[in-house]
Structure 1
């Protein structure tokens, strides 16, 4: 018995080490720190924009009217990171809270009503961009000569029932025109979406079952037309609701008798006078250049 107690006292039961919530230490004893992916991507985007605008630093004679960011994105994880980094669910938040102050601090002159847009593209950046890697920046400057070259276009309804029989696309009033069903539909994300070219929905008081049957095939956020001031051209893009992956389609019957489908986010069609835009295989608009 004495020998047993002697062995117990000299060889006590080992105690398990305490668990710690602290991050693992590096070789020099410092914890490993990492910036969250979304924040890192947002900072990368802001740095790219500021670097792209270096020619405009402290140039009071060159006021920026707007910026368009293009990012090549071909996987879902990157798309999610970019959408969160750019605050896509809160329009204007990235522009006002993450970008504007830093541009002003770098003495970049901004118009009072300057705008910021972002576009995710699948294949390549537009040729007219300031580019670096997978990011491209289009700078729209304010100036009298620049504004004078704006072209005005019209959309006429050939099939379907819309809020107006014809719509004017005037870039001096706005550069982007959303096309969809109902004026302010709520999307599946919960976000309220605003359409400029409005096809009446079944619940709208102005809906007519006979003249508006084609409307039922139009998504709430089906497509949009974007004006490019540098090229003086209008481009049609599919919106999320107008893509095959969401059970819908957007098609163009061109003025030279060709058929083109828009199946990829960010891939556009340059609109020509006489092009017909088919939404959901039923509703049809015709694009006309000039007044």
Structure 2
């Protein structure tokens, strides 16, 4: 569970997908639906209804090819997209209207299987159209009320950015001389750092200090960040979440996480490790996040900023 994520609008694409075993993309004798308006990269497209029976396999067409880096499995990408049913000309979901591109890790099972397969090998700056059969989409269960059972899905996707999720903080180790604050380990071997919480009263205000200061660009409040992180409770120092335990980095849009994360990471440099201490009013407040985060808990995080989208 994404413990730091706030319960805001979740794109339909990120909801539970079917467990299909598709064979990947293929050619098709059935043309994909035409883009009838907004045909340029970056524009919200209008897509016609599909004609005839939909393809039985995943089909991916490149509508315009970019000249950016190639997307690989496990890369993080930022995309805009519009999706509709093969037999409809009305979108069931799109990111253009939300004004917030979607950030995902390719091949990590965060999206439906058709997406994970279709994005690998594409170039940043490209616009692609894909037709996704039910076994690589939402299968026999569908996604009521907008996606019926056994639906073939059509997506137009603009690939905005891609970055590798590998790495750890690298830079200048900073002194941690304030005995009233937690001390974070400075190892850069890819393993979770230690977090030692002092037996003192928690601070009432947000703390966001460099442990290792990188030399990358400053994080903007509108960014999606790619991070490795570990979170413990101030009281008792018990860990409640860690991306290290899941074996892969995480990505979060800073406008969709608890305020302490958004405020603590904004302005910090990519490549850094940051200690963030979040008071309850900038975290989960009086409701907490049961069962792991009690009410009125002060949270302590070590965050390695690997990249941004």
Same fold (TM over 0.5): no
* TM-score calculated relative to the size of structure 2: 0.27
Q: Which has the higher contact order (CA 8 A, sep 6+)?
A: 2
Greater Rg over alpha carbons, structure: 1
* TM-score calculated relative to the size of structure 1: 0.28
